[in-house]
Structure 1
């Protein structure tokens, strides 16, 4: 039972309409939550239910779990997380956790992620549910009661009603323990099955190794005996040869003595010839021996070199392959990195070029304007310079004239008269010239007007082209977006197709026996020829009928259709022979059925008419479906089954009424086919959709290419009109220049005319009087004009340079603009191609990396072998080089010795013949002695080779020999026995011991698992016994209190709860209620108020037997009248010492009972706020 554990407070943040963090303190025994409809007060109950583990979004009045997150309003944006925390006082340790305060928190994110926290530490939902077992708190407990919960208690399914009683009677924890024990039992049985499989394998290994180890032991024993026998035989042979050798050596000593005497005589004649000859003989023998060893060494080195060369050739291949793969991998990795970098670079460049293009275009327009201004200024300066130049020259001439006139005035009077006539003539010429120039100016001004009109029209055309281009660019962006969408759709469909294709080819979803037979048929054409197909593959139906058809045919969908009974007999025998399993076969020639024509307004059709199939299997389809009727709903099914007998009726949702009257259905049915029906059609549809998408993608690509071509054409047209405008602008500048020059010329001539007129007047004046004061004035004027001339020339030069630079900039910008337009198109094509290359390189990179690992392993193995052989060859070569050096030395020594005795030999030849007989005899004895020694050495070598030992080890063995009677017959017998045993594995003895230990260990594990299984079974039985006793005892108490409280709340009447079977742990629970003055009848016929009060009576009975720490009552008083609600409140007050109540209500009487009120309002639409009012303070 729960002690003083209480709910301290609930904190909501972002949950439903509680956008802001809201904290509700529950420090009173009875708290009431009130507020108008739609204010969000029931969201508080939903929040408590949710934090305790509610998984049904429907129960929380939502479509998905993300619906509990605040969705936003016109003013406040939506939130991305919802959080609710429930804080409990656990100071009495009612909950099995070492904290005085328990904080349970649940969060959900808009991404779909969620988490549970216990005292701010992440936990599982399972941990939360375990914590509250047998407390009444939780999703299936009785601490959360609303209108829907009352309906579940009174009218719901038995299993839903049992959850409450199991929690109330305190067996939930034991039930959970039982469930966990059953899972352990299932796991134990899986482990047992796996262990039995391992034991079987180990036993087979044990039997094999047992035989091998016995052979090994026998072989070792015989080998040891054979070694001892052959050692004794060797010892005997050595002893015998040693005796013969000693006798021969004695004879040799005697001959040596005689020979020594003869040699003494010879030595006197030969002066040490004999020792020299002896040295020659010894050196000759030594030389032959060394050469023979050299030949053997050369052969061995050659053999090793061949092996090394073979390995090196292999290594070359491996290294070449490794280098190729490394190069390929590096290239691919580099390519992939380059591709990725290139994509980023290209995309960046694409944006950069677009931006730059706009900037360059703007610069071109600005440069044109700047150039126009500067050219005009340049022309004006040039004109000014020309005028200044003329003026200076003129003034200088005048100055010169004045000076001359001053000196020669008297001589010039006649000349002045002539000059006057000349000036008058010049004035007349200037007047004629000015008239012509004015005519030219008018013509040029008309030309300027025409050119400006052409430029204006061209600008309008360019703007129109740019507008068209911008429209096409907008269409292009949409097309590219469509292309991306289509490609994504294509990839998704392709993935679905691959999955469905794999399922189809692997026969996923079929029984194992059907799968095995169909897989064999795929490889065996003879078996395949016997099969028409699986029934599921031979029929099609509209999607809306799939669920119903799936249930109508059930496992018959996996029946295999065949042509006749003979094929069926063959296939059944084939199944038996290959131990495949059982399959139902449907012979086409044997199965048939009548077609029935039924009519009813509620019938869609008989199912055989709704299925599409080959006509040859009509009989099979009619057999299964001609007496199955399809209707819309369960109500229609009930009506049709009453009117039409002998038919099975099935609804679109899958409810079935069988011909004999049984009904099948319910909300646990998943409304989807098992995937066998229409699988081929779905695959074909996917392939067709992929084909259509491919066509769409190609069409979009064609449209994109077409639009790009249109843009290129528009750019070309724009460029042509811009070029035309540039030419027009040049002409316009030329016209302006010409008109400026003409104006300057007119101005100049007017000035000349004025000057001539002035000169004429002056001449007249000069003729009258003489005045040379103008000389000073002209000198000053010339100086000023020359100074101005320098300034103007300098400005002209600077401006000319500046204009050239600006013209170059303009030309460069236009060229750059053309390049940018071309580059933009190229880059966008490049990006698409690079992405395709990136995907291809990524796929092949994985293959090359796997190959590289294998090649590196091969290289390492070859290098190790080459290193080993190279070491061996180095040792042989070292020995051989040493031997070669020794041979050269010996040959040189031998040559020196032969040269030394050559002349002396002639002199002693006679003496040699005298001792030849002694030499012959000595030779025979030496040969005999050598043969004896070789025989002993041969026997020793055979023994050493047989038993792989050294001379020292053999000598040691012979010293410590165990003397036994050894015969060659026994040796042959042992060798024969060893031959029969054959090769034996020395390690098999150790392996046998290891497998024996492993087998013993597995047997112990098996015994432990059996013992564990029995313990779990006994524990389950014990738990079931405790559960039965606890449930029966508590159920009886609740039953008694239910009747008593029912009578109190109804002012009389009777109520009862009872089990519908003797199975205490699984029986359904029936609720019987009879209000005062009414006959006993079904709960369903009670009024809403009576139902509510009955449910309240049952809940109060449960609270008295096993009170929950707190209880949330969500508007359960809504259906109660004033009299009933007063009795309800009166009894509720008697429970506050054991349970804390949070009541959501509209009723004033209930509000008055509460110690604290929480008012829920919506000051801002869509956002709930809580206002707190302590009623005891308010009443005071």
Structure 2
């Protein structure tokens, strides 16, 4: 420790010495640095002045040399231009003589006359073509109108046939209802003069809501024949024969027009319109109409003996009596007569429409024939005009070819003359310019001689100033370098002494800490010396405890193994119990369902008064429930399909049978044609599938090859979307470098463009076209992708000519030919083309 303290005192003394040296040298160094900076500024100024002199001297040398060379060149040019002016003057005189010898005024006059004739012929052709187009358009419209009218005619005829068939069916039904029962009744009708009379139903027009009620009210009276007075009396002279057919005659009687003021109901006569001047019987005037039972009950108390109330269902009641309506669903005479009248009106209207459409079709056909005749005439006229136009065109072409040759010669001569004149004027201007340049060069040479003497005088002064400043700067820099080294050494020494002092302090602290630790260790060692005698006994106890702990661990592991085994068995037993419970619950549900079905079946058997034993004996041995259920459903559908009984069904059946035979023949023909067509379609589909599959695979391979070249890696493929290859869509799956495989919709704009380019180029590889135009395809691409795109176009151009529009310099550099559009004047565009190969050769030259 004392040694360390002695060295520490020496270091402190040396540090004080070096600090005093720093305080002495640093101010002197600052003074020298200021003086060096001032000297450097003066030296730089002197050097700049000398450099400026050197620049002026070099400039003088160059300019004086250029002046001498310019004078010599101007003299040589003057001699050359004088010779060129003489030669151009002689050429100009020769061109004027040759130009005066050319004359084509006669050919120009002939060509102008032919052009006028040709223009007139073209105008006539245009007029004829316009007329032809108009005629053809009219013919087309006429044909469309005829087709439309034909469709309308077919529709009207179909509607007319349907209405006529319905009318004939209803008329036949009416005849069967009114037909006499036998020949005796027909003879009686003839004798009484009633064979031409019509039944009362044909003279009545009843509102549809009340037709059924009036049918039931009048009953047999509707079939009664309307007779005049003589016929009515004759009915009593000739007794009607006995038969099931009961004929009631009807006479004209005066109607009772009394009105009951207590009853506010509509009368029967209000819903009946007579088609002839008949007088209904008096009792009809007393019939009122009620819409429901409440109205009838309210009015019944006010009825007079000859009055009654009729309801829509046919119920008829009077003063103290009532007849309830009967449900007869068959159409009556009034309904049939009303339908016959409506159908007759519809048939008349349809016949009129058919006649009108036929007339329109005839007029359209006549007009079409006339237009076709005009079309043939115009086509012949057009052929004649075209022939004349071709003849005039050949004559005009010959004259124009000759005139064009003369014109080209004149243009060449005039161009040569203008070029000669321009060149002559240029040569004269150059000659005058060269003479002026020679005079200027001589004058400049005299001025530069004075400048040379001034520069030589200033050169010596500038060199002395530079040398003096350089010497002074070198002395100051040497002294400053010595002082800087002395200061640097003192600073370094002080830093070393400081580090040494820090190290000594650290070592002293370390020794003190070590001493304290040794004292502590010594005290602990003295305390442990007491317990060393009991060490063997403690070791034996530790060994016994370890043996007991090992046995306890083994027993614990055995019990844990048994517990795990028991838990596993318990889990398996619980799973088996759960399965049995699930099966039992399912069986219970099935039993309940079967019990419900059994009760339902027993209920149905009770409704039909059949026991289960009887049913088991009647059912076949191999009967199935589903089979019998289907049979019952089919039978119910058949019963429902029968509907109401149609009296005219036999005749309708025969007609439909004949029509069915005809339709079956047509159907067989259609089946054969359809079979042939389906075979052709199947063959076409098969060929289409094969060709599409082959083409799809080839394009897919091409795209898989081109995609990495455009992207610099990655992969892409086409996938069919759908099971049927004929109707499936096509999805593009692409994976650019460093990205996941995704559809084209998830890509950026540039990636979409490159993917589309790879697909298009793959198609062109499979089926090259004469040319392909690409309109600013590289717009969304960066420079790297534009380069790959342009290289791909260059590669593909071996088989396909590409024309692409671009504003990108990289794409332009890859092209073989450039075509640009410029606008030197507003609204005036000009096309400029550049051959890149030729331009490169010219640039190399």
Pick the structure with greater CA Rg. 2
Name the structure, 1 or 2, with higher relative contact order (CA <8 Å, separation 6+): 1
Could you tell me the TM-score, scaled by structure 2's length? 0.33
Could you tell me the TM-score, scaled by structure 1's length? 0.24
Which is helix-richer, 1 or 2?
Answer: 2
